[in-house]
Structure 1
Amino acid sequence: MNRFEILRTGRAGSNEQVATPGAVSHRDAPPNPSAAALSDKFGSAIQRREVIWGETIVYVDPAKVHDIIRWLHDDPSQQYDFLSDVTAVEYRDAEVPIEVVWHLRSLPYRRFLRVKVQLPKGQPLEVASVYDIYRAADWLERECYDMFGIRFRGHPDLRRILMWEQYKEGFPLRKDFPLRGYAELPEDMRKRLSLGERTGE
């Protein structure tokens, strides 16, 4: 029974798998053609390309990432019109740079592309904001700043979003942050929580 029959009948066999006609296994998906187009357009600013489990990843020069994402968004041959996430990754190895990651989708072309930059830990953790390209970047970039300490140049309101604004104890998703945190909650907040009051006001 295929998915169209399930939609028509409203049921599926207990041991039957639903197959999409003409679907390509995610694992075996070909490289995203946007990766080659980026290399042609931006040359050495595209530092490397790889495909992992069918998903194409491009590592780019941090100084050029705004131009690259702008081109991916605006160029008619690309049309990456949907930003699904901005996040960061810190690895256990202290020598490995922190990565900032943008998850982009081109809905017209049905493509997914992961764009990464690497920020060495001994240098300022700063990269251009893409808020002017995708309004969805607003809270995503604030979360990266709040949790990892990454500053996004050009963001109109870069401040903490999960921790309280007066929080001065570091960035909770960094590897050097202790599991139990550095300090107790402020006295007034601890009292309000014990009374079941809301604290986000």
Structure 2
Amino acid sequence: MKQRELAKQSPIRSSYLSYSAHYDRVFAVESTLELDYLNLVRFERKADRVESQPFSIQFHLRRRPRRYTPDFLVVEGGVEYVDEIKTAKAANQPEFCHKASKLTRYFAERGQVFRIFTENDIRIGYRAQNIRFLAPVLDTSTPMKELATLLNASSARSASMSGLREYVSYLEIEPSFVRRAVAHRLISCDLTKPWSELELHW
């Protein structure tokens, strides 16, 4: 498999560049759905390594030569996942289903796992929207000092978004603390709900 330079695959689709200090890499993505997937991977931080448009392969489909470039390569727990991001409509097209079946076998023979993600997997409730809001602070320093102030000030370990914002202000902690603490997973919550309605736990 040939290593591929970051490049726009299509002259029509939009291109986005996203940098992650955690993975020390610039990612090239070609749709907002791919960007939402990448933001989710960056937020979860389960992957040991992530690459966008990592390589290209050539294979045969219905006896015709075809070229394929995965959207992402994700290495997690020693397993290499080859991830394709598609809209649900595109993923359900018979032609793509046939191609996906072929690619699943192709990568399995090489010890890799081919996966398909659609908006139904990525954009659950308000999660993608909330993680877009968190994305700019994913690479900021972890707010441990502010968290210690919060922990020492009260025995409470949960609050509504509005309640915590008010208490943080009372403690004279930077207002951005809540956003940064959620981004660094110091505060847990159900991100599928609207930001203003989140119940926060720490």
TM-score range, shorter chain: under 0.3
Higher relative contact order (CA 8 A, sep 6+): 2
TM-score scaled by length of structure 2 = 0.24
Q: Which has the larger radius of gyration?
A: 1
TM-score scaled by length of structure 1 = 0.24
